[in-house]
Structure 1
Amino acid sequence: MAEYQFEEKKSGFGKILFWIVLVIFLFGGVFFWYKYYFVFGEGVKSGYLNYAVKKGYIFKTYEGKIIQEGFGKGKTGTFTSYEFEFSVDDAKVFKQLEENSGKHFDLHYKEYNGTLPWRGNTKYVVDRIVSMK
């Protein structure tokens, strides 16, 4: 008695669906990397440290604010100060900031396109202290 072997054909729909899902995941991964991990800019900001705090409900992050020298002109008849709010990703840097509140700092930061809850509340992440006076 002869046995027949049937070859299983993959449907064209299955292949197309596989490639569509793969492309969606690749685009999603690239978008996530660009939004949250691509460093958009770097720089140094100078000013007097207003506060340095550790806060958060689930993810405890280091946050701070420096007041830059000078005043800007806001709405008619008002003045606004230059404030720079930032997050800190290194506990050693945060400790140095916390112990020297009120002093003048030059802080190097990286600017990202988006925020992540475990990285901080701002797009600006201070990674080192350039100088302290």
Structure 2
Amino acid sequence: MEPQTFGQKVKRTSKKVLRIIIIAVVIVGVSLFSFYYWGVYDDGVMAGKILRISKKGVAFKTFEGKINLETFGAMKGTSPIAEAFDFSVEKSDEALIKELEEVALSGERVNLYYITRYAKFPWRGDTRYFATRIERLEK
């Protein structure tokens, strides 16, 4: 067995270092993607009437909605445009989509529960706000 030269040792060590760097970059990338994709930093509720729920998109079909908060200028310095709130709905939540369509047609007042994610992805929705459930209010 021949003794290894200095150049061979450096080459083998640099391959190990490069492999470790690539593995670390992949782990950090997967971790960041997971954090931004599934992470939720806010959840809340809004009251109003659902104006619309629609399936939109060219490449990715997503469900988008709009709720009218019905403040009618009660908030100082806001315009009527700012009194509507856009949100998305997960495609897999078919029961919620159906219920949103019903209340949009009936004009009922509802409480819309939502979560806010860190980032938006085109295949998931147009907004970072996702409806999780609605509660119909008594008339």
| TM-score category, normalised to shorter length | 0.7 to 0.9
- Displacement of 1:132: 4.1
- In structure 2, the residue matched to 1:17 is 18
List gaps (5 residues or longer) in structure 2.
Answer: none
Identity of aligned residues (%): 36
More helix as a share of residues: 2
Once residues 26 and 137 of structure 2 are traced to their aligned partners in structure 1, the CA distance between those partners, rounded to angstroms, is: 45
- In structure 1, the residue matched to 2:94 is 91
- Displacement of 1:130: 2.6
Q: Contact 2:108–2:136 (CA<8 Å) still a contact in 1?
A: no
Equivalent in 99, 104, 107 of residue 112 of structure 2: 107
- In structure 2, the residue matched to 1:33 is 34
- In structure 2, the residue matched to 1:124 is 129
Once residues 45 and 105 of structure 1 are traced to their aligned partners in structure 2, the CA distance between those partners, rounded to angstroms, is: 8
Supply the AA of the counterpart residue of 1:119.
R
The 3-state SS of whatever aligns with 1:95 is helix
Once residues 41 and 79 of structure 2 are traced to their aligned partners in structure 1, the CA distance between those partners, rounded to angstroms, is: 30
Q: Deviation per CA, 1:2-50: give whole Å up to 9, x if none.
A: xx58899671001100111111111111111122211111111111111
The 3-state SS of whatever aligns with 1:25 is helix
Aligned length: 127
The 3-state SS of whatever aligns with 2:70 is strand
Matches within 5 A, 1:46-65: 46-65=47-66
Report the TM-score when normalising by structure 2.
0.79
Computed over aligned residues only, the root mean square deviation of the Cα atoms, in angstroms, reads 2.2
Report the TM-score when normalising by structure 1.
0.82
List gaps (5 residues or longer) in structure 1.
Answer: none
